[in-house]
Chains A and B, each alone.
Chain A
Amino acid sequence: MGANTMKLKLHVWRQESAGAKGGFVTYEADANAHMSFLEMLDVLNERLESSGQEPIAFDHDCREGICGTCGMVIDGRPHGPWERTTVCQLHMREYSDGDEIWIEPWRATAFPVVKDLVVDRTSFDRVLQAGGYISVNTGGAPDANAIPVRKDDAEDAMDAAACIGCGACVAACPNASAMLFTGAKIAHLNRLPQGQPERYRRALDMVLQMEAERFGSCTNHGACENACPKGISIDVIALLNRDWTAGARKAG
């Protein structure tokens, strides 16, 4: 094990509460290569707690890369250095003794900091409320096999539906734009036959809400796609734009 252990220097953003002024605090942390990144922070936090100091607040839950709760910017990369990997799945074998690591929260006006590395992502929920669903009530649905769906359409829809709502796309985007997140939901539903009746309304309404939440405007950088732990492709943004345009034409 000895060979696996390491000492690290962490620069972590600490901020007491939403309004408060924050800043970086430097910590020495011990880790071993088998730990996950969050377990490294757990160990540091337990040390802080037992010495009566407030631990670093960071959000997480499943620690399996599926719930979308975790998220922090590590050395400028949302979710850290591993591609297609949430920070809860990042493991310390990536690092070596003496490394220095900068840890910051998502930065976006639509994601205000709640505390330390925890941000408020309810803006995503409101974007979804604007139209990210198919309007069917419980009961009385036709037999599941009544409408066949082309395997490719089902697969493409699934690719987009894999979004975990973590917000890394917004964190990575130089414009703090939510086009990848919004596009992913629109693509998931608009690629399926069930999604057709509300197809254009959905695109228009979700975009209007996206604006209201004060996300930025997409200039097609593609940084979001790069940071996305689920590999959502910016094709969903083209699809959003296409359906939006068609919808706008109908509305006019």
Chain B
Amino acid sequence: MDLRSKIPSGPIETAWERHRFDMKLVNPANKRKYTVIVVGTGLAGGAAAATLGELGYNVLCFTYHDSARRAHSIAAQGGINAAKNYQGDGDSIWRLFYDTVKGGDFRSREANVHRLAEISVEIIDQCVAQGVPFAREYGGLLDNRSFGGAQVSRTFYARGQTGQQLLLGAYQALMRQVHAGSVKLFTEHDVLDVIIVDGAAKGIVTRNLRTGRIEPWMGDAVALGTGGYSNVFYLSTNAMKCNTTAIWRAHKRGAGFANPCFTQIHPTCIPVSGDYQSKLTLMSESLRNDGRIWVPASENETRPPGEIPEEERDYYLERMYPAFGNLVPRDLASRRAKDMCDQGRGVGETKLGVYLDFRDAIQRLGRDRIEERYGNLFEMYERITGENPYEVPMRIYPAPHYTMGGLWVDYHLMTTVPGLYAIGEANFSDHGANRLGASALMQGLADGYFILPYTIGDYIGSERPEPVSADHPEARRTVEEVEAHVARLVALDGKRTVDDIHRELGRLVWGNCGMSRNAADLRKAIERIPELREEFWENAAVVGSAGTLNQVLERAGRVADFLELGELMCRDALAREESCGGHFREEHQTPEGEAKRDDENFQHVTVWEHAGEGKAPIEHREPLSFEHVLPSQRSYK
């Protein structure tokens, strides 16, 4: 596997600038001769499709949603980072770069992260020009808040709906191109495979979710902006339809899968209330700016929170991490919450939860300020739980939220398959082993608006790919394989519902490859998951036909892929004999129970190659080097 990262040589501060100059351009007159396929209309896909359309390429854009505006990016609440230093609090591109590399626990590429920090500034300009209604101060200038452990205020936000507003900005730009005819948008088209001809990506195969029609689409380059795979855990904060199918199929066609075990567990989610639970709801991390996290000091506490006196409360984050207190990074906050519950000090009916208390903040700032800051989040919490967080402390518990792992890409965002790109959460991202809050929106938009459109131009400009017809034997073969796969799925007429199997897979991965992992559990899971996979193919119940809208069939296909990815995650977690960021191996921790990295042996990206059905995947490594941010043990004490 060719894992050359193509990082430009020379000083990192000017690397991207110089590289952009060195990259090939495509003559405007020729651009419309080239077809670019973009899968996904989230921040990454939507921004990329719109920009490529503006540049004059002939763009085909696909989503399984009924509208491009539904992409899961819409759910992002807290905000987006940018090194604007509008607050004059000492922020800079360098500091954002530094924070992101450190926050990622030294498992990301310096050059990529620096580029991301540079571009963050342009993103805000672009979004404001599009009419994204960011929060402002009375002077009319943009407001910022500090977010997710950052010690500067660099987060731009639009109430609690930042992702929605950014996505609508990209969606509107996309709609403009659709209107102009430069982008053809195909909604309710599920991308089920990638067509590879002579080793290069030349197209995709889709299933029309309404008619069941399976057809190929050919192009000169393919970009996957298909989001994250947190739903492998069944319960996550991701939207119900989020899945791994597109990148998993690409993986099986030759794209290396990087760091699949790097998943992020978000500390502030509403706890599970019962086994009918379909998804978990995130409470924006910004709540940790003013809320105080605590559990009862004693295990068998039965009193309602209000009656527990101050001295019998354990504000454990403030106690353990005086410097950062409630604002420690997500992985720490999550793991500590788990510890508290493991010690039996959890709260709520299920005892799987900790308090997030606004009593003091309300006393300090007054109810109105708090309402202004978090009003919509408090409303959402009350709708779901029926409890009023202005009076009773919120109950929160960690939940799967984001996947740092994904398709391996080089500096050009190209996977190990020439002409196949991965952008946004779908690629193994610039966040290393742990993503800082408000950085995914930044990365998605950086990839989509400002990186991919150039790097794809370089590929097309230098390769000058020849058009391939949909009748090409490879295209035909891929279509037939997809047809066979779908036929096999609808034929399943067992007893067990698809969701029930997904639920068990989720419990397996969450239990053994979740917040903390150990070799024994991982080995168990690696044995159990294939058995579950077999049960799926023998005993799953897929009712209805393949010729109409069939939501069970849709889910079945996604679960089938999760059943394969879940195993790879466990293998990856087992292979990485260290703890870093979101990956915590119980065998590798400091006496105080903090993650212990092993930079001698694991300062690399693990890239998995698919070796064929039933064969163990092959492990490859891209070594990482750190010249500007020297690896140090993260300490938030």
Contacts and interface: CB of A to CB of B under 8 A. Distances in A.
A binds B: yes
Interface of A: 16-17, 32, 34-36, 38-39, 42-43, 46, 48-50, 52-55, 57, 59-69, 82, 85, 89, 91, 93, 114-115, 118, 120-122, 124-125, 128-130, 132-139, 141-145, 147-151, 154, 157-158, 161-162, 164-165, 188-189, 192, 194-195
B541 A50 contact: yes
B158 interface: yes
Ranked nearest first, the 4 interchain pairs of A and B with the lowest CB-CB distance are A148-B140, A133-B172, A141-B129, A141-B125
B136 interface: yes
Given A52-B543, A138-B54, A91 B384 contact: yes
Interface residues of B, number: 81
Contacts of A68: 67, 69-70, 74
Nearest to B171: A128
Given A114-B549, A134-B172, A165-B69, A151 B544 contact: no
30 contacts: A16-B548, A39-B277, A46-B499, A49-B497, A49-B541, A49-B543, A60-B240, A61-B239, A62-B75, A62-B240, A63-B240, A63-B281, A64-B281, A64-B380, A69-B70, A85-B383, A89-B384, A115-B549, A118-B549, A121-B67, A129-B178, A136-B126, A138-B453, A139-B122, A141-B122, A141-B125, A142-B125, A144-B124, A150-B140, A151-B140
Contacts of A61: 65, 70, 72, 239-241
Contacts, number: 210
A66 B164 contact: yes
Contacts of B35: none
Contact of B135 (A122, A134, A150, A154): A154
Given A49-B497, A61-B239, A34 B178 contact: no
Contacts of A161: 133, 158, 165, 168
A24 to B, nearest CB: 19
Interface string B271-289: 0011011110110000000
* Chief secondary structure at chain A's binding surface: loop
B50 interface: yes
Given A49-B497, A161-B168, A89 B276 contact: no
Nearest to A143: B125
Contacts of B133: 154, 157-158, 161, 188, 192
B142 interface: yes
Contact of B136 (A115, A132, A141, A151): A151
Given A55-B543, A89-B384, A148 B159 contact: no
B21 interface: no
Contacts of A129: 175-176, 178-179
Given A39-B276, A50-B496, A134-B172, A65 B380 contact: yes
A213 B134 CA distance: 32
Interface string B37-61: 0000000000100110010000000
Interface in B194-228: 210
Contact of A62 (B74, B171, B386): B74
Contact of A192 (B122, B131, B241): B131
Contact of B134 (A36, A38, A130, A154): A154
Nearest to B383: A89
Contacts of A139: 122, 126, 449-450
B74 A63 contact: no
Nearest to B282: A64
A63 B66 contact: no
Contacts of A121: 66-67
Contacts of A141: 122, 125-126, 128-129
